[in-house]
Amino acid sequence: MRHSAALAPLKQVGAFVNTFGLSFDILQIVFLDRSEDYARAVGCKGDRLFQIELPAPREETVNFGDEKAFVSYIAANLQKAVKLCGLPKEIESELSEAIAQFRSNG
């Protein structure tokens, strides 16, 4: 996968979240060939996995050759996904802050 090394740290952004009491442990983002404003919370699929559908990045939106821009785009979409999955406000805020920190360090 393109830029997989640069994306790897993004997996750790939510490692601090205590998922006890939540309906899921894994947030899965599925990128689909849809319009830029598309976003759909599919919900729990299987055991402890919550799926969000978002539009796949387009060349007009992000430069795939620019690692930093691509990773920032994916992080922004992760932030969008966090808002769609119905987490308690405190956890949503902590995750949003962690993603913003990741983007600013990128």
> b or e along 64-80 (b: 16 or more beta carbons within 10 Å of the residue's beta carbon)?
eeeeebbbbbbbebbbe
Q: What are the backbone dihedrals phi and psi of residue 87, each rounded to the nearest 5 degrees, phi first? A: -75, 155
Residues 99/82, Cβ–Cβ less than 8 Å: yes
Can you give the pTM of this predicted structure? 0.82
18-70 pLDDT, tens digit per residue, is 888 888 888 889 999 999 889 999 988 767 899 999 998 888 888 888 888 88
Residue 93, pLDDT > 90, answer yes
